[in-house]
Amino acid sequence: MIAAILAATLLLPADDLYRRGRWNALATDQRAGEVGDALTVIVFQSAEASNTQQTTTRKATDLNASIDAGSLREGGRATIGGGFTGRGDARRSERLVTRLSVTVSDVLPNGDLIVTGTQRMQVNGERTEVRLRGRIRPIDITPDNAILSSRIADAEIDYGGRGFVSRGAGPGLLNRLFSLLGLG
C-alpha cells in the first residue's frame, strides 16, 4: 500500500499554491494583475494654454502726374493706401481631480495592464461622466492598489456633463444659428 502511494505521488504532477509575481505577504493587499482585477486611479490632471497673435500691415502708394502744354497746365494726384490690424488672444485652463475605479481588461505580453473604467454621477440635475482607458506598469501600482493618472501611458481621459449648468454655459439657440450662418 505504501509503495502504491509513493508511486502515485511520483507520477502525479504537483501544483503549487505559490505563483511567482502574484505572491504577497499575508498582511498586504492583493495588487491588480489579471483580467477582471479592479484598482483605483487617482486622477489629477491640470492643463493651461495661452496663445496670443498680433499682426499689423500697412501699405501706401503715392502717384503724382502733371502735364505742361503751354497755357494748359493740368496735374493730378492719386493716393492709395491700405492698412490692416489684427489681434487674437486665446486662453484655456482646465483641472480635473477625482478618484475612479477601473478594471484590468487585458494583460500584455510584457506584463503591462490595459485598464478601462467609467464613473457616472448625478448631482442636483447635473449628470457627469468620467471615462478612462490606458496602459499601466504593475510596478507603478501602490501597495493599496492605486495608481496616479500621471503614471498611465496612452491615457485617454474623457470628462463630460449634461444638465442645467452645462446648458446654461453654452451659447443660446439664436447665437448658434447666427454663427452657423456666419453672422456671429
Residue 113 has pLDDT above 70, yes or no: yes
pLDDT score recorded for residue 163: 65
In percent, how much of the chain has pLDDT > 70?
A: 61
Q: Which residues contact 9 (CB under 8 A, 6 or more apart)?
A: none
Residue 173 has pLDDT above 90, yes or no: no
Residue type, 102: V
- Classified as helix, coil or strand, 37 is coil
| Pick from 72-76, 109-113, 124-128: least confident | 72-76
Best mean pLDDT range from 26-35, 91-100, 126-135, 159-168: 126-135
Residue 151 has pLDDT above 70, yes or no: yes
Residue 24 has pLDDT above 60, yes or no: no
Instruction: Return the higher-pLDDT residue of 16 and 100.
Output: 100
By C-alpha distance, which of 92, 160, 87 is closest to 128? 160
95 pLDDT tier (thresholds 50, 70, 90): confident
- β-pair partners for 42: 99, 148
Q: Which residues contact 16 (CB under 8 A, 6 or more apart)?
A: none
CA distances from 66 to 73, 74, 75 (A): 8, 6, 4
CB atoms within 10 A of CB 8: 9
On the 0-12 / 13-18 / 19+ scale of CB atoms within 10 A, 114 is middle
The DSSP 8-state label assigned to residue 134 in this structure reads: E
How far apart CA 152 and CA 33 sit, in angstroms, is: 15
Question: How high is the mean pLDDT of the chain?
Answer: 77
pLDDT single digits (tens) 44-92: 877 777 777 777 777 766 666 666 666 666 666 666 666 667 777 777 7
117 pLDDT tier (thresholds 50, 70, 90): very high
Residue 8 has pLDDT above 70, yes or no: no
> pTM of the full predicted structure?
0.55
pLDDT score recorded for residue 102: 95
- β-pair partners for 163: none
| Pick from 30-39, 79-88, 104-113, 160-169: least confident | 160-169
Q: Which residues contact 29 (CB under 8 A, 6 or more apart)?
A: 143, 144, 145
Residue 118 has pLDDT above 90, yes or no: yes
How far apart CA 184 and CA 178 sit, in angstroms, is: 5
